[in-house]
Amino acid sequence: MAAVLDAGDIGRALKRIAHEIVERNHGTSNLTILGIPTRGAFLSERISAILAEIDSPVPHGTLDITLHRDDLRLRPPRPLLPTVIPAEGIEGRDVVLVDDVLFSGRTIRAALDAIGEIGRPKSVQLAVLVDRGHRELPIRADYVGKNIPTSATESVKVLLSEIDGDDLVEIVTGS
Amino acid sequence: MMKTHLLSINDLDRADVISILDTAEELGKISDGASKKLPTLRGRTIVNLFFEDSTRTRISFESAAKRLSADVINFSAKGSSVSKGESLKDTAQTLQAMGADAVIIRHSASGAAQRLADSGWISAAVINAGDGTHEHPTQALLDAYTIRQNFPHFRNGFEGLHVGIVGDILHSRVARSNVLLLKKLGAKVTLIAPPTLIPVGASTWDVEVSYNFDDALPELDVVMMLRIQSERMQNSFFPSEREYSRQFGLDARRLKMQKSGGIVMHPGPMNRGLEISADSADSLQSVVLQQVSNGVLTRMAVLYQLLGGAPLTQQAGA
């Protein structure tokens, strides 16, 4: 087990991501932030708070992708997590998806399907705290907290104070 | 953790019930949006096997399955080989050969769903959509969902909530499933009916029994009216419809006597003018139409939990 990001690192990474989002979108006026539960939702809340501080408040929600997964039949049924779409919807908005770890890319594919069911955004961008490689689909992140090269036997564990009591990213060997 | 089949409310523990209600709630939020169709059960085949007439339950299951993108086959006994004398076994084996993933069965014989699930004739998940006078678990689940929706303080249990079930308890599978479920969630339940329509075993149900609707009403948060099931009545259980209606029917006068903030439910189809008057059925307290739309969401949740994951055999290996 090796810690790769501590609370300070996570805070700085999120702050940088927020600034990059503002820079790339020339402000925040057309932005909508959607977090993928569980931990992506907490990260998206933090990014929204930073955006409100450095620019202006943005609509913010959560998007559960469980019903769009392609591996449903490989695992026991999972409980559904909350989906909250901001009142102004996502039609014509620049949507920033937020998740904790980018791995195979399948979660993001499911998220794109879920978004397509709700509306047609002007663009969809992706922000992740950790990109650990091993993509199985042609998907990449627009904003990355940290690239962590891993081997297939390792897994990346993200702990957040909102549910885990502490902020920490670590690599766990042997799954 | 969910089982392979849903035959009785007794198949579920309290956590299962809450999880189904939560899932239904999330599904409700999703279908409030632009899209009503989800890809979750694409490629799965669900058979509606109805040996008894039904409109709303069959349509409700059908639309639940379709909203999850499953393929639905409707099989009703009328106009099928069953009317030529085909047995339940042969019907089941035919459905098995066609690759059904779930069979939703309604039958006039109590225990038919259990028989189908236990027989080994079929490997599909079996969902009981009403068997004789035994049980109708998805109706109880949708009723619990509707109660929770109207009493948001009781999200995780119905302790402190008082529900009256009124009318033809004897013939009602809805009442049986509801008593089991409401007790499981901690509600106080009072059965209100003439003595002839209270089943003999009711004294073992841990419920109160009242023969006087007027006395019980001011205490009730939820009034659940049941349909008088004339088709199951071979004897006379009450002197006349008019007398029944006067003593146990819900009319405008009684509606005012209910505890304030209370709701009126009916599983449908309603006999307007018999157990419920037209103005009570259409009143603001009535949540009958909410029950119908909640039925689709609750059944989606049940189908998702039974079929959404890997088959049980595969899970054991994973």
pLDDT, tens digit, 9 for 90 and up, residues B118-133: 988 999 999 999 999 9
- List, in order, residues 6 or more apart from B84 with CB less than 8 Å away: none
Residue among B26, B34, B314 minimizing CB distance to A83: B26
Residue B119 lies in a domain: yes
Q: What integer pLDDT is reported at residue B237 of this predicted model?
A: 86
Q: What integer pLDDT is reported at residue A125 of this predicted model?
A: 98
d(CA B22, CA B298): 9
Q: In chain B, positions 56-75, which contact chain A (CB-CB < 8 Å)?
A: 68
Sign of CA dihedral B202, B290, B187, B302: positive
Nearest CA in chain A to B39: A68
Question: Are residues B116 and B15 part of one domain?
Answer: yes
B84 a catalytic residue: yes
pLDDT, tens digit, 9 for 90 and up, residues B172-183: 999 999 999 999
Are B244 and B193 within 8 A, CB to CB? Answer: no
Could you tell me what percentage of chain A is helix, strand and coil, using 3-state DSSP and rounding each to the nearest 5?
Answer: 35, 25, 40
d(CA A18, CA B179): 53
Question: Are residues B126 and B58 part of one domain?
Answer: yes
Of B31, B65, B29, give the one whose Cα is nearest residue B308: B65
Of B157, B176, B114, give the one whose Cα is nearest residue B13: B157
Residue B2 lies in a domain: no
Sign of CA dihedral B304, B308, B309, B311: positive
Q: What integer pLDDT is reported at residue A175 of this predicted model?
A: 52
Q: What integer pLDDT is reported at residue B2 of this predicted model?
A: 52
Residue B45, amino acid: T
d(CA B84, CA B91): 12
B136 a catalytic residue: yes
Residue with tokens 């998907």: A139
Question: Are residues B184 and B105 part of one domain?
Answer: no
d(CA B116, CA B128): 10
Residue B3 lies in a domain: no
Question: Are residues B257 and B193 part of one domain?
Answer: yes
Neighbouring C-beta atoms of residue B192, cutoff 10 Å: 28
d(CA A82, CA B26): 6
Q: B227 is in which domain, residue-wise?
A: 137-286
Q: Does A112 touch chain B (CB under 8 A)?
A: no
d(CA A30, CA A58): 8
Question: Are residues B232 and B152 part of one domain?
Answer: yes
Residue B1 lies in a domain: no
Q: In what order do the strands lie in the sheet with B222-225?
A: B208-210, B188-192, B162-166, B222-225, B263-265
Look up the CATH number of the domain holding residue B88.
Answer: 3.40.50.1370
Question: Are residues B182 and B306 part of one domain?
Answer: no
Residue B108 lies in a domain: yes
User: Once rounded to an integer, what is the mean pLDDT over residues A106-133?
Assistant: 94
Q: Does B2 touch chain A (CB under 8 A)?
A: yes
Q: To which H or E segment does residue B210 belong? A: strand B208-210
Share of chain A above pLDDT 70, in %: 99
Of B170, B192, B189, give the one whose Cα is nearest residue B181: B189
- List, in order, residues 6 or more apart from A120 with CB less than 8 Å away: A90, A91, A92
Are B149 and B297 within 8 A, CB to CB? Answer: no
B155 a catalytic residue: no
d(CA B39, CA A37): 19
Chain B nearest C-alpha distance from A80 (Å): 6
Of A175, A170, A174, give the one whose Cα is nearest residue A1: A170
Least confident residue range of A8-17, A69-78, A130-139 = A69-78
pLDDT, tens digit, 9 for 90 and up, residues B67-78: 999 999 998 877
pLDDT confidence bin for B82, thresholds 50/70/90: low
Domains of chain A: 2-24+31-70+81-173 (3.40.50.2020)
The total number of structural domains in chain B stands at: 2
Residue B4 lies in a domain: no
Chain A nearest C-alpha distance from B26 (Å): 6
Least confident residue range of A103-117, B33-47, B110-124 = B33-47
pLDDT above 60: residue B278: yes
Question: Are residues B203 and B169 part of one domain?
Answer: yes
Q: Determine which one of B3, B56, B66, B272 is catalytic.
A: B56
